[in-house]
Structure 1
Amino acid sequence: MPRYSTRLLVHYLKFWDVPVSAYFIPSFSADYWQRLLVEFNANLPRFEVMVRVAPEVLPRLRYAGYFAKIEQIGSPDAAGWIPVAMRFDAQEAACAYVLGFGAQMKVLEPLELRDSIVQTAKEAIALYTKG
């Protein structure tokens, strides 16, 4: 079974300016479509992230974003926070996702994502503190 829907495939094709009509040939078979989806999924970008989340956030992770995939959930640490391995399509998507949880989620790795979050937060603070 494909990991992504036809709707997502069409979204990516349009985003990358690929003529969608090229993929919707009336005479193609189900096998052709399956091969196309497998190839599409294999070529999706992967940006892997390790975060630490507050316990109350864990139930919301599954519903927080279409492009965020949970890879593994660890055991809570002494403070009750839970390590979670996640996967995104791009660093920008991961940054927006993490920022959406505010102080209830902390990036452990990669370090470049942490730097991006700090920079984006500074820009937001500057925006809201200017008259």
Structure 2
Amino acid sequence: MKSSRLLSILLLLQTRGRMTAAELAAELEVSPRTVYRDVESLHTAGVPLYGDAGHRGGYQLLAGYRTRLTGLNAGEAEALFLSGAPGPAAELGLGPALATAQLKLRAALPAGLREQADRMRARFHLDAPGWYAADAEVPFLPQVADAVWNGRVLDVRYRRWKEPTDVDRRLEPYGLVLKAGRWYTVAGPGPHTYRVDQILRLTVGAERCEVPADFDLADHWRRSQEDFHARLHHGEAVVRLSPRAAARLTGSAARALEATGRAEPDGWTRATLPTESLDQAHAFFLSLGAEAEVLDPPELRDRLAATARALAAAYQH
């Protein structure tokens, strides 16, 4: 809707300062021509907005102008309360601040929106970690968060998975990411990703650091996840699956089943599924029991057959 877009332009300029028509158009997913018309509408409405021509030009609000956000709709109010994650906020030392902010927001809402926001909070609870993942102790999370915020270098003793396991690192923290219940810091030089719960010792250095101007945390994390998954699945297995086994597949295996699956006369499905390694594939297909048959590669089929023979021998007595 145009009214929503006008408010978005106003808030973008208020929070980011000068922006070109092209930047506003990209942010709002409209054409620059639409931005020109919207800016003219804001002018007509008396908003003190002006534009500068030239290479360093763009639109900006008159210095000191602020707008009060009074146009929240029901969905936006519900989303704001649903986005408040008390667990991570508490880990960062922001639990009381989050509770106070939500209390202030609730008090500012009209009665109807307040009721809907309360119902959303009462009916939905976010719990990101998996069932079998124990809560990890993250004693240095507040210090890492403070270093991210204030641009301070960290000297850490870090435990990694390969030898030598315990190493000393000097980190320039660019940001924090909460993924599946675990905290990670993306830090230079590199940058590289470090699990915060694997930091064994930490000292805040006197040296300051700055995040590179072209670094975007969300974009970097998305690309690193894509690279990780691309490297993760570098093998394939041709299998036959019963309907029960096919229903158990998730993620990349389920997508591969949909793309390559071919029904056979007995009701089973033949498909080519991605695998990470021989050990991982052996454990996974073993978990499917007699509901799956591996046809290729031969080394995986032979290993499963040997395990099946050993199990049969163990249970003969």
**Deviation per CA, 1:13-40, whole angstroms, max 9, x where unpaired?**
944459787524x946424444444443
Pick from 240, 257, 270 the counterpart of residue 83 of structure 1: 270
1:53 shift after superposition: 1.0
| Alignment partner of 1:69 is 2:250 | no
Distance 1:98 1:29 in 2: 39
Whether the 8 Å contact between 2:233 and 2:274 is mirrored in structure 1 is no
| Alignment partner of 1:23 is 2:193 | yes
Distance 1:85 1:18 in 2: 39
Q: 1:116 to 1:76 in 2, by over 3 A?
A: same
1:72 shift after superposition: 3.2
SS at match of 2:273: strand
Q: Look up the match of 1:46.
A: 234
With 45-54 and 14-23 compared, the bigger mean Cα shift is at 14-23
SS at match of 2:239: strand
1:112 shift after superposition: 1.1
Q: Look up the match of 1:102.
A: 289
TM-score, L = length of structure 1: 0.64
Distance 1:18 1:45 in 2: 28
Q: Look up the match of 2:244.
A: 56
Whether the 8 Å contact between 2:239 and 2:296 is mirrored in structure 1 is yes
SS at match of 2:232: coil
Superposition RMSD on alpha carbons, in Å? 3.4
Q: Which amino acid aligns with 2:253?
A: K
Distance 1:39 1:56 in 2: 31
Runs of 4+ residues over 6 Å off in structure 1:
18-21
Identity among equivalent positions (%) equals 28
Count of residues in correspondence between the two structures = 115
Distance 2:292 2:248 in 1: 12
The structure whose RCO (Cα within 8 Å, separation 6+) is larger is 1
Q: Which amino acid aligns with 1:83?
A: R
Q: Look up the match of 2:7.
A: none
SS at match of 1:72: helix
Q: Which amino acid aligns with 2:246?
A: L
Distance 1:124 1:18 in 2: 39
TM-score, L = length of structure 2: 0.30
Q: Which amino acid aligns with 2:240?
A: R
Pick from 288, 298, 304 the counterpart of residue 111 of structure 1: 298
